Amino acid sequence: MNTAEQTLLLLKTRGPQTAQTLGEVLHLTSMAVRRQLEAAEEKGLVTHVDKPGKVGRPVRLWQLTELGHARYPDRHAALTLDLLQQVRTLFGESAIDRLIDARETASEASYRAAIDPAATLPQRAATLAVLRDAEGYMAEATVGEDGSVMLVENHCPICAAARSCQNFCRSELDVFQRVLGPDVKVERVEHQLAGARRCAYRIEPIA
């Protein structure tokens, strides 16, 4: 992966960033990163916004445009939407619910086979993040000082399907709750379909 692609990926997974911050991660000067960003801006992949800094000097934050986000596409979006519409037309809305239930059952079985119920909460969440990352969600799990875990998904490879039928999102939340165990509470705190940049889940132990 070249530097330009790494820069875009960091904006995808971390959200708006300054050239200086990106340079520190990439081990490049802020000037070198700025040239990369300006080239990407000319292609319509990124844009910037200037915000007041701590000492009055504006801070320039760079972020992906809609075209930039489209570099990480929804898997087979058009085909998926067409199939969902065909299922609705031929078999009715209840068939969509059965389809989601079947996907939910298969996902839960796969996650349960990989997640050790005797493992600690951070270990369980980390395993789930690895599984979701392999499915294309750009997932990661971080442990907070209070013992909770934040599961973040920086990309949704089934976004078109989820927009067409939001029960896909409800289904995923239910699966997370069951596979992580009855000793935790899973709450979605950021949601792409509600306008957020990503989906994020707070997972905390139940006292």
What gap in Å lies between CA 56 and CA 79, rounded to an integer? 50
Instruction: Lowest mean pLDDT of 23-32, 90-99, 116-125, 132-141, name the range.
Output: 90-99
Work out the average pLDDT over 1-27.
88
Confidence of residue 167 (pLDDT cuts 50, 70, 90): confident
User: Is the pTM higher than 0.75?
Assistant: no
Q: Name the average pLDDT for the chain.
A: 87
Tokens representing 91 are 């078999």
- How high is the pLDDT of residue 81? 67
Per DSSP bridges, beta strands 46-51 and 59-64 are: antiparallel
Phi, psi (rounded to 5 degrees) for 182: -75, -10
* Nearest partner of 192 among 164, 161, 156, judged by Cα: 156
- How high is the pLDDT of residue 140? 95
pLDDT digits (tens, 9 = 90+) for 144-153: 999 999 999 9
What gap in Å lies between CA 137 and CA 199, rounded to an integer? 9
- The alpha carbon torsion through 112, 116, 121, 124 (nearest 10 deg) reads -60
Work out the average pLDDT over 131-141.
92
**Could you give the 3-state DSSP secondary structure of residue 206?**
coil
**Could you give the 3-state DSSP secondary structure of residue 187?**
strand
- How high is the pLDDT of residue 95? 85
Tokens representing 165 are 């039928």
pLDDT digits (tens, 9 = 90+) for 46-99: 998 888 877 767 888 888 888 888 787 665 566 666 777 787 888 888 888 888
